[in-house]
Amino acid sequence: MDFDGRPFDGMIILQAGRWYCAYSLSYRDIEELMEERGVEVDHSTVQRWVVRYAPELEERFRKKKCPTGGSWRMDETYIKVKGKWKYYYRAVDKEGNTLDFLLCDKRDKKAAIRFFRKTIGFSGFPGKVNMDKSGSNYYALVWINCLLIMMGLWPLVIFIRQNKYLNNMIEQDHRGIKRIVDPMMGFKNFKAAQATLSGIELHRMLRKGQCANDKEMPAWKQWYELAA
């Protein structure tokens, strides 16, 4: 990764970013921890590092991400941005592996279609998708299925299942993200929220062993390997 022009060593930048994305710490907590290491850096600088480098690390990870299963559980949760609740779409497979995520301004059919398109683009078509009773999510998949039928792609039609009990897995998985996000007391802007969430999701996926060839390596080592 390119750290040229930065007054700090790349390892310091990566470590500060990992701490923030992996643990329930504020930027001021990171500033204090860095000071303990003999590094004087302002908390606002750490925030800029996260926004700048977390999405790049997550993009590199996608090239090494292990294949996921074809039985999905999808749901949305809430993330506060500039004092307003936004909608955070997420999906896991039946083994609990993270498929994808998307922060949206609204919770509607259009947002759900965007999420499914992104997830299918990276993970391929699922055999079935389990969700709650959300009408917008349901009709987004119906729209995708109609499109597949019109294109003559019958084998790719997705089975839609609405079973709240089976969605417990994704609801439980939300907690791992909320545990990191809630102490942040919300994000100041949408771009910062998207970037930070990509780093948090990345570290979660590394802990789940979703990086090909690096499964036996602890998550913190995998984080640094992605930047090599």
Provide CB contacts within 8 A for 128, sequence distance 6+: 70, 71, 72, 158, 159, 160, 161
Tokens of 223: 């984080």
Residues 91-122 pLDDT 10s = 999 999 999 999 999 999 999 999 999 999 99
Strands 128-131, 159-162: pairing is parallel
**Ranges of the chain whose pLDDT falls below 50:** none
pTM of the predicted protein model: 0.94
pLDDT of residue 122: 95
Q: Which pLDDT score, from 0 to 100, does residue 4 have?
A: 79
Write down the pLDDT at residue 134. 87
pLDDT for the residue 166: 85
> What local confidence, expressed as pLDDT, does residue 15 receive?
96
Q: How confident is the model at residue 6, as a pLDDT?
A: 80
Is residue 37 within 8 Å of residue 15, measured between CB atoms?
Answer: no
Closest CA to 92 of 105, 108, 77: 77
